[in-house]
Structure 1
């Protein structure tokens, strides 16, 4: 689903309004196909909690964090080597 559509629905809910296709479409700033809007509003009406579950950012796994830190360490080492080579003698 389109994140902008869910954000528009969330804004309507924060304003205390009941999301409808027309209200949701009026809140969108980018052109969005009508079937996407209809599907998002239908999903909200079938399961109102689903909108909040979809809006939460996904958690990064700890293995990615370990890989990112080791990659960062390698980059820092290479940068240190380059700075040493470029340093005036």
Structure 2
């Protein structure tokens, strides 16, 4: 799940507001597909403790380690496959 969406939900909770899809979307710092927003809000509604656990353990969502996007990982795999093909 996208951490940006969970960050928006955390901000709403800190403000004492109940997260909804509309409020969460309004708090996002970047564009996120609507299904991700809906899934995150649904996850919160089904298990509010999941967000509260993230709020208590911020090291889980820390930005200390570089995050690799799915596209970057796919590109790395493709580069490795191409290198293997060139060796043969």
Same fold (TM over 0.5): yes
What is residue 47 of structure 1 aligned with on the other side?
47
> Structure 1 length normalisation: TM-score?
0.61
How far residue 29 of structure 1 moved from its aligned partner, in angstroms, is 1.3
Cα distance in structure 2, aligned partners of 1:7 and 1:41: 12
Aligned-partner Cα distance in 2 for 1:8–1:22: 11
Number of residue pairs aligned between Structure 1 and Structure 2:
58
Alignment match, 1:4: 4
- What residue in structure 2 maps to residue 27 of structure 1? 27
Return 5+ residue gaps in structure 1 as ranges.
59-89
Greater Cα radius of gyration, structure 1 or 2 = 1
User: What is the alpha-carbon distance in structure 1 between the residues aligned to residue 2 and residue 41 of structure 2?
Assistant: 11
